[in-house]
Structure 1
Amino acid sequence: MVNLKDKIMQRIIYIGTCALFLLAASCNVLDVKPKGSYTTGNYWRNQSDALDGITGIYNILLEEDYTGFNEFVFDNCSDDQIRGGDHDYDQAIEDFKYDPSTYSVRVGWRWKYETINRTNNALIYIPKITDIDPAIKSRCLGEAHFFRAFAYWRLLVVYGEVPIITEDDVLNGNYNKPKVSSDTLRAQIESDLLQAADLLPETLASADKGRVSKGTAWGLLTKLYMDWNKLDKAIEYGTKVTTNANYALATNYADNFSVATGNNSEMLLAVQTVDGWGYSDFITYHAPRAWGGWSFFYPVKGLVDEFEANDPRKAICFMGPGDKIDIGTEVATYTADLSSTGRHYRKFCAWKPSGGLNYSLKTPLMRSADIYLLVAEAKIRTAGAGAGDAEINAVRKRASAALPPVAGAGMPQLMHERRVELCGENERHQDLMRWDKAKLIDITTYYNKPKLAYDGSVIEAARTFVRPKHYYFPIPQQEIDRSKGVLIQNENY
């Protein structure tokens, strides 16, 4: 088997120059010019080509305007964190004052459709390769189906309605297409994930840790079904994760945020990086400026105060005044003036012993703990309080035996557990909107409160969330212009 991290290191330059041939020319949803001397006529010849093509799909996750930074900006809308950088467009996102031309609204579109184009080509040409191990062929096709679903999933949660481009569209040169309904988009994601689950291996050899598995596909299906309000289906596929030892919760919560243990059984999907190769700026955007980072995300007082007094996750998640932080060259003392809120996320930072940020730390995109809590939520919403106790308690017990188990837990306890367990992992805003759509909460009461710093001072005034407008972001105006009117703007924009 081929080590994914080694493949990224060996192929990143190669992929950068030749993989763009996979993209169809004149596609309005992706403005990238084909480069290099490769074509579909002289590529996709053998197993090596298939593996390189799939590596090119994973490689997109390194992009700053995809998972590296821009996807996590959307959680600044939530009540958990505040922007810390100097981007005026980040403030527009946080204040719900964005428009179709706002930078963060438009730049991620390109990389999602680049993923889709690369996966489409893999799904067209890998089935035709004969010089390939059948298990590798199956895995490659499963990875292609999964990442097409993942790209459409991110398009769904950001924009709601977008065009679907599949293999037939590539073969027929049909790229300028209107957007489809959210349910049609969900059905496409579901189809790809079910095929991915059939094709992907359940377990991975140690050399292949970091690749997606059946559990990854089941996990994303669970998230899809929760968004779709198909709670029974969410329980069905989520339970495939929670009852499978291959996707067990890591022994320690901190294992998920450690260079040495990031690729554990719980990490269903993460951006794979090795310091010196495959740079992802996720750590850079989180670490304090004084210690090599850019300080773009600050947790606010409301989130920090949500943690129970004896919850060790609080110290793992945050840096606060007086904390001693090993930054390699010294053990530094955190002071409140390093952040406008007096806190930083600690869970997303790591330093090399010689000093400097350690880019071998993985960027978590989906963990089993998320799925445990979604199963608990679906059970509570279908069977009543207490139905999700086992899943909630599994997460709490892993955090610390000192945390008292829940009994008869309802939605308030579930909401608390998701907030503390997944803080900073780009889930809070989506959670609040899901609960608001289901009329479990009034989201405006969360967002019509100011955000507070560590000392209780106001650092962000109350904001106005308008439903249903703010459930989704607007379609980028540049894509509507390129489509010559085929794409129609989302309602209310």
Structure 2
Amino acid sequence: MKSGIKLFILIALLQTGCKKLVDPSAPGNKIGYQAVYANNKTASSVLSRLFSDFGSFSEGTAGIPILMSISGDDLNAAAASDLFTQDMYSNRIMKDGTYWWYDMYKYIYTTNDALEMLPVSKGVTDPVRNQLMGEARFARAFCYFYLVNIYGDVPLITSTDYQENITKGRTASEQIYQLIVNDLIAAKALLSDKYFNADITTVSTERLRPTKAVATAMLARVYLYLKEYAKAEAEASEVIANPIYELPELNSVFLRSSKEAIWQLPALQARFNTMDGKALILRTTPGIPNGPRPEYPFVISTFLKNAFETGDTRSTKWIGDSSGFKFANKYKVWDIDKPITEYIMMLRLAEQYLIRGEARIKQNKVGEGIDDLNALRKRARGSNPGDLPDLSKAMSQDAAIQAVEHERQVELFVEWGHRWFDLKRTDRLNAVMTIVTPQKNPAVTWQPFRALYPLPSGEVNTAPGLQGHQNPGYN
């Protein structure tokens, strides 16, 4: 666990720890390093560092993908030795359970700072300014999307004014979502359609910085969650139609050179590919029995294992086998000092097919929606007769929605909390977790309030705007 730095104290320190007053035309009372936004190079470094820091909640045993997968029914973490992981896995965490809150608000502060400073910077050229402002709007929307889906109503912080921010209470989720949509629409307008290197002037062959398509893909997801299905379909269709994105064969999806990648992050820790690979891949050690260990305690759950249909090669290409122990194997490299062949996947094309398929079905365009699901089934189909057949385009709308849930489960497992969020947004979480939780730990009964995680107790106890406003059930 990271130290319990209080959000609003952190914001104050970030602000008052700076040295120089900015240009007088900057927002009132704004304090910051004037030199940071003095030119293209230094300004772009702020956002470069921000996206590098995103790795803190993006991968490994502290990341959203793994921890939310053990909260749900993707992963079994029974071999974990630390109480925090066990409590997350058993759905019995009570307080101070996650520290993503602190990281995300720190990153939101950075985006707010950039959005205040870039418009008044005289040394940043307009093309770079637009790109960086688009990146900042996207990053803020991305953080708020996860904050609101993990914690529910959260403080809406859009400035760097400490005196204002310290008074903030919880803002209704609907208002948070409006900011997310507005930020993504603005980001889409500001961002280039090209992937840039860190200098924001030379084009990159890697997909590590946000582009117009990155904002579009995220907007498609947000519209789906908001049940604005026509808009979700339109945004997803725009990404799917982009010729630079393809559905490669399964073993190529998570490579750094993946044509499916819409947005990736580079290695978080030096000398390793991804922390997810390091944490999830089981390996043999001479003299030690095979299977999960505290260093890599995760295997796929029985629920996920049983979800795969006959002939679905995702069950072999994305699931590893270590002497009968099945583990998530989307990432293939775990050991140190190997060539960097994999990056952490943030957004990818398959999700856009799933978004569009669901959005079409919800608009009663069942046949078109099933076509999108079948595109992914075709890629995963084995070579034997009868393997993973196409879904019928004549099925009912209700059956088609069930097919969407299934396809999302076997396609997006252990990625970014998709399964947990899907069960929540479709009102299926209680039904599933009532069965799952007692099988994880017979001493624990699922309680519906755990659909939201607790706010950090330090915030609730000391932040003036949050005192006494913990999520129900955690008081």
Provide TM-score, normalisation by structure 2: 0.81
Residues in 2 aligned to 1:378 and 1:358: alpha-carbon distance in whole angstroms: 40
Counterpart for residue 389 of structure 1: 370
Counterpart check, 1:174 vs 2:160 = no
Q: Give the 3 Å change call, closer, same or farther, for CA 278–194 of structure 1 in structure 2.
A: farther
Q: Determine what percentage of the aligned residue pairs are the same residue.
A: 23
Q: Give the 3 Å change call, closer, same or farther, for CA 293–395 of structure 1 in structure 2.
A: farther
Displacement after TM superposition at 1:301 (Å): 2.3
Counterpart for residue 56 of structure 1: 49
Displacement after TM superposition at 1:166 (Å): 1.0
Counterpart for residue 421 of structure 1: 411
Higher mean alpha-carbon deviation, 219-228 vs 130-139, is at 130-139
CA contact (8 A) 2:217 2:352 kept: yes
Counterpart check, 1:252 vs 2:249 = yes
1:100 to 91, 95, 101: 95
Counterpart for residue 243 of structure 1: 241
Counterpart for residue 122 of structure 1: 114
2:359 to 364, 375, 378: 378
Displacement after TM superposition at 1:358 (Å): 5.9
Counterpart check, 1:405 vs 2:390 = yes
Counterpart for residue 473 of structure 1: 453
Counterpart for residue 5 of structure 1: none
Residues in 2 aligned to 1:229 and 1:464: alpha-carbon distance in whole angstroms: 31
Counterpart check, 1:272 vs 2:273 = no
List per-residue Cα deviations over 1:231-286 (Å, max 9, x = no partner). 2222222222122223x33321221223xxx3434212222228736985333221
| CA root-mean-square deviation | 3.0
Displacement after TM superposition at 1:346 (Å): 1.4
CA contact (8 A) 1:149 1:193 kept: yes
2:38 to 45, 53, 60: 45
Give runs of aligned pairs for residues 205-216 of structure 1, distance below 5 A.
Answer: 205-207=203-205, 209-216=207-214
Give runs of aligned pairs for residues 152-231 of structure 1, distance below 5 A.
Answer: 152-167=144-159, 169-170=160-161, 174-204=165-195, 205-207=203-205, 209-231=207-229
Q: Give the 3 Å change call, closer, same or farther, for CA 390–159 of structure 1 in structure 2.
A: same
CA contact (8 A) 1:257 1:348 kept: yes
CA contact (8 A) 2:95 2:455 kept: yes
Displacement after TM superposition at 1:160 (Å): 1.0
CA contact (8 A) 1:139 1:201 kept: yes
Provide TM-score, normalisation by structure 1: 0.79
Quick one: which amino acid aligns to residue 323 of structure 2? T
Q: Give the 3 Å change call, closer, same or farther, for CA 215–26 of structure 1 in structure 2.
A: closer
Displacement after TM superposition at 1:312 (Å): 1.8
| Secondary structure at the counterpart of residue 114 of structure 2 | helix
Residues in 2 aligned to 1:200 and 1:54: alpha-carbon distance in whole angstroms: 13
CA contact (8 A) 2:91 2:437 kept: no
Quick one: which amino acid aligns to residue 474 of structure 1? P
Residues in 2 aligned to 1:275 and 1:178: alpha-carbon distance in whole angstroms: 36
List per-residue Cα deviations over 1:198-246 (Å, max 9, x = no partner). 1111232334521111121111112212222222222222222122223
Counterpart for residue 313 of structure 2: 312
CA contact (8 A) 2:76 2:301 kept: yes
List per-residue Cα deviations over 1:22-73 (Å, max 9, x = no partner). xxx983465866768684233210001111111121121122x554433120
List per-residue Cα deviations over 1:377-432 (Å, max 9, x = no partner). 12112215434022112222233475422222512222221111111113111111
| Secondary structure at the counterpart of residue 165 of structure 2 | coil
Structure 2's unaligned 5+ residue stretches are 1-5, 21-31, 196-202, 286-292
Structure 1's unaligned 5+ residue stretches are 1-24, 321-333, 337-341, 453-457
2:350 to 369, 379, 400: 369
Residues in 2 aligned to 1:129 and 1:33: alpha-carbon distance in whole angstroms: 20
List per-residue Cα deviations over 1:291-317 (Å, max 9, x = no partner). 699214321122122222222222121
CA contact (8 A) 1:285 1:295 kept: yes
Displacement after TM superposition at 1:123 (Å): 0.9
Q: How many residues align?
A: 429
Residues in 2 aligned to 1:285 and 1:175: alpha-carbon distance in whole angstroms: 37
Displacement after TM superposition at 1:478 (Å): 0.8
Quick one: which amino acid aligns to residue 183 of structure 1? E
Counterpart for residue 335 of structure 1: 323
Counterpart for residue 435 of structure 1: 426
| Secondary structure at the counterpart of residue 42 of structure 1 | helix
Displacement after TM superposition at 1:149 (Å): 0.6
Residues in 1 aligned to 2:230 and 2:174: alpha-carbon distance in whole angstroms: 17
Displacement after TM superposition at 1:372 (Å): 1.0
CA contact (8 A) 1:287 1:293 kept: no
Q: Give the 3 Å change call, closer, same or farther, for CA 53–394 of structure 1 in structure 2.
A: same
CA contact (8 A) 2:236 2:355 kept: yes
Q: Give the 3 Å change call, closer, same or farther, for CA 206–307 of structure 1 in structure 2.
A: same
Counterpart for residue 347 of structure 1: 330
Could you list the structure 1 runs, at least 4 aligned residues long, displaced by more than 6 angstroms after superposition.
34-38
Q: Give the 3 Å change call, closer, same or farther, for CA 94–197 of structure 1 in structure 2.
A: same
Displacement after TM superposition at 1:460 (Å): 4.5
